[in-house]
Amino acid sequence: MESRKTILICDDEPALRELIRASMDEGYEFAEASDGVIAMELAREVSPDIVILDLMLPRLSGLEVLARMNEDERLKDVPVLVITAWNETREDVLSAGADEFVAKPFDPEELRAAVNRLAAA
């Protein structure tokens, strides 16, 4: 039996975290962080298979979380999907170390497809 993959959802908006969970296929477990500091703590604690990361996070920005993950031996290979309403370009986000990028507001189908690509990699 295949084990369930864990997705760490990092966004400061509870309603958006719920929408992300509801957009996913069955078979995933979720951990949630409302700020960048909690995101790093949970990433180290739960060793997620995928991280969905907003760039606009309190206490530690999503870009800082991404940089710290890339410096951490245990986390540097975890695929990261950035979701943001910032005016960042896809190229900027991907060059910062993200594996996928989805702009807010997002289409749930687009988000699900991006997560499934990361899960299959």
Domains within the chain, CATH numbers bracketed = 5-120 (3.40.50.2300)
pLDDT one-digit tens code per residue, 68-104:
999 999 999 999 999 988 766 778 888 889 999 999 8
CB atoms within 10 A of CB 107: 11
Q: For residues 13 and 86, give the distance between their C-alpha atoms in angstroms, rounded to a whole number.
A: 15
- Per-residue pLDDT of 44-54, as tens digits, reads 999 999 999 99
Local structure of 58: helix, strand or coil: coil
Alpha carbons 108 and 76: distance in angstroms, whole number = 26
Model pTM score: 0.93
Tokens 């990261």 belong to: 80
